[in-house]
Amino acid sequence: MARWAAARGVPLVHLSSDYVFDGSGEKPWREDDETRPLSVYGETKLAGEKAVRSASGPHLVVRTSWVYATAGKNFLRTIARLAGESRELRIVADQVGAPTSAALIADALARMVEGDPKAIADRFAAAQGLVHLAASGATSWYGFAVIIVQGLRARGVRLAADRVIPIRTEDYPTRATRPRNSRLELTRLARVFGIRPPDWEAALAPELDRLASELRSSSC
């Protein structure tokens, strides 16, 4: 697809991931920081980025992180389900990032591709073909889960969970090694595209509204 777009001068947007980084340190990752994936998943995401760049057309690689939505399989819906079934949730507390809604990503992408193809290509070039996109602020998976449970309960959803317990990464092994630090630096996003995402909790609120309405209706 990248080669097809490049041959025709069509600006291309490619979504990538925080998994291209090794998660070390505590500072947000900049676009020009060294990539060191920890897993095959991260390696494939980085390979995709390189393939898009090598096509040499107007392009924008957009790295994001911790994506969730009210639809599909993701952390938000998993926590809502588990909280409805179990009194105790054990959630990783030593991985930090910014939960980012699919709606936030979609809105930002729509702004990035406004205008005619030349204007879009010029913006992509100004971003050096790479930008980070996530909600502002940061939390752990544990902190995210706590806010989900509290938010659903405050919206009238009956839940079984009465305890959310923080655990270490080592206590919850996964197939793909996850970066402990998934913070993304958003300065280039603001400078080139004029986009300043809301704090992750503010972006989560309307998603909780929709999910709570769905869960209340299904329980009737």
**What is the C-alpha to C-alpha distance for residues 66 and 144, in angstroms, rounded to an integer?**
10
Contact assessment for residue 133 and residue 63, using Cβ atoms and an 8 Å cutoff: yes
Q: Which amino acid is at 134?
A: A
Q: Which residue has tokens 């990783």?
A: 92
Question: Phi first, then psi: what are they for 67, rounded to 5°?
Answer: -80, 135
- Cα distances (Å, whole numbers) of residue 78 to 4, 51, 216: 38, 33, 16
CA atoms within 13 A on the CB side of 196: 2
Q: Is residue 41 flagged as an active site residue?
A: yes
Contact assessment for residue 83 and residue 159, using Cβ atoms and an 8 Å cutoff: yes
Q: Which residue has tokens 């919206």?
A: 155
Task: Choose, from 19, 41, 68, 172, the residue flagged as catalytic.
Answer: 41
**What is the C-alpha to C-alpha distance for residues 118 and 30, in angstroms, rounded to an integer?**
26
Nearest Cα neighbor of 155 from 105, 195, 194, 205 is: 205
Query: Which residues are known catalytic residues?
Result: 41
